[in-house]
Amino acid sequence: YTDNDKVEIFVNKVGPYFNPHETYHYYSLPVCRPDAIQHKSLTLGEVLDGDRMAYSMYDVHFKTPEKNKHLCDVTYGEKELTTMKEAVEELYYFEMVADELTMRSFIGRFEESSFLAVPHVHKLYLYNHIKFVFTYNGDKIISANVTTGEYEPISLEVDPPVKVSFYYSIEWKPSSTLPEKRSTLLKDYSFFPRTLEIHWLSIINSVILVSLLMAFVVVILTRVLRSDFSRYNNLGIIIMALLGMFKAHGHGSINTAAILLYALTSCIAGYVSSSYYRKFQGTNWVANIILTSSLFTAPCFIVWSVVNSVHWWYGSTQALPFTTVLLLGFIWVLIGLPLTVVGGIMGKNTSSDFDAPCRTKNIAREIPPQPWYRNTLCHMIFGGFLPFSAVSVELYYVFATVWGREVYTLYGILMVVFVIELSVSACVAVALTYFHLSSEDYRWWWRSVFSAGSTSFFVFFYSIFFYIRRSNMSGIVQSVEFFGYSVLTCFAFFLSLGTVSFFASLKFIRYIYVNLKMD
């Protein structure tokens, strides 16, 4: 910027403070607005994040301070006054953007005494005067903030109609921060609470758990397998099995990257699916490809349709425009589905038939009666509890970020926890699969999927606990989005950990039987 250049202020969205995914257009409230509302062009990630930036009436110029400048007058009738009162009662905040810097503040103040206080106090105030505070270094804006606390608000406890005058002030301060360092100031932005710290106790808890669990697997399986292998081979096969059982044969920008990454990696899903479909001697290749491509996308579309419809009904900015829906559909039709087909063709043509590690009998042996603690439900409870306990502490921070106002930046720790989760899932799968086979029940295929896949049920129960006890979310819009996407997330947990569990079990069994001879 040069001196006196216009700095565009974009108004974005408003919403309840405790419902982070319930947002509405800024101009849905009775505030100052231009005669013709013009919107800023947005990226796909910004649209998915609920952004709807529009040009505002604020006249801001670089290094030009203003004081008590009149913006507009708005007359509140009964409807407008009721709308503003409800917004203040629900702790609505507004969001603006200047030079790609986000500014937030509350639209009003709500004062209420305790339930037992006499007389009961219930007062609503509107901030009709805001102050922009900018810092600059040379010709660059370093930070932008908006405050309302310096000016007395006006009371909304009046009878309509009432005329409300809106004002704004502008302050410019020099800064020694280099322009390329301004992104570091965002970490200190304090409108939302900052309670996420480096939680090493979470990592220590998970590491100790996985260490004990792996030690448990090594000791128990070594003792149990010792007697079995003594009839067939020496101890070297045990070492091979234990060493090889974990090998598996890796603003809105995150939203955009996730969608494109999912579409571009569809070829991997097609390849793996077709490879194992051939090993299992499948013949309906078209159905296999369709199922692979829609196994996650179909439930995702159903959940999104319900959530998006609720947002649309209530006028929330989280409802995607029709053009964005078409764009996402084209990404799946033109990228995701074709790559799945290509991967499926490659998997079918490059894989071989299933190579059993040893000879099998033509007639299945009779399965003896099983005790109650070996049934599917007990199997799922034990198999899901241990992987869940490995991530339960970290899960709170993830939920507080996605469904709260926290900002998660400890991605290195998250990666460590992810690796721990996969390790625990593989250990549990190997242990439960062996115990299942030792009871002379050979039907381990789907049992292995549910070994760690059942972790998803524990995650869903935790999401209910988080909603009731750890959050202040309320209302139909936020509740539908929370539980809808929680169900979808748990389904993704089931598919991911179930896959890890199955491959770990399959690898372990191949190592067990690769050198065994039939009795």
Return d(Cα 196, Cα 198) in angstroms, integer. 7
Residues 6+ apart with CB under 8 A from 332: 263, 297
Please report the sign of the dihedral spanned by the C-alpha atoms of residue 268, residue 272, residue 278, residue 283: negative
> Looking at the predicted structure, is the pLDDT value of residue 129 above 50?
yes
Domain range summary for the chain, segments of one domain joined by + = 5-188, 258-355, 370-518
pLDDT tens-digit series, residues 28-48: 999 999 989 999 988 887 888
Q: What's the distance, CA 242 to chain centroid?
A: 34
> Looking at the predicted structure, is the pLDDT value of residue 5 above 90?
yes
pTM over cut 0.85: no
The dihedrals phi and psi of 149, each to the nearest 5 degrees, come to -75, -15
Mean pLDDT (the chain, rounded): 82
**How many other CB atoms are there within 10 angstroms of residue 170's CB atom?**
21
pLDDT tens-digit series, residues 71-94: 999 999 999 999 999 999 999 999
Dihedral through CA 372, CA 376, CA 378, CA 380, nearest 10?
170
pLDDT-based confidence at residue 219 (cuts at 50, 70, 90)? low
Of the candidates 446, 467, 466, 459, which has an alpha carbon nearest to the alpha carbon of residue 492? 459
Residues 241-255, mean pLDDT to the nearest whole number: 46
Percent above pLDDT 90 for the chain: 38
Of the candidates 366, 356, 376, 380, which has an alpha carbon nearest to the alpha carbon of residue 461? 380
Amino acid sitting at position 237: I
- Lowest pLDDT segment from 27-31, 215-219, 486-490: 215-219
Of the candidates 495, 390, 516, which has an alpha carbon nearest to the alpha carbon of residue 449? 495
**How many other CB atoms are there within 10 angstroms of residue 30's CB atom?**
18
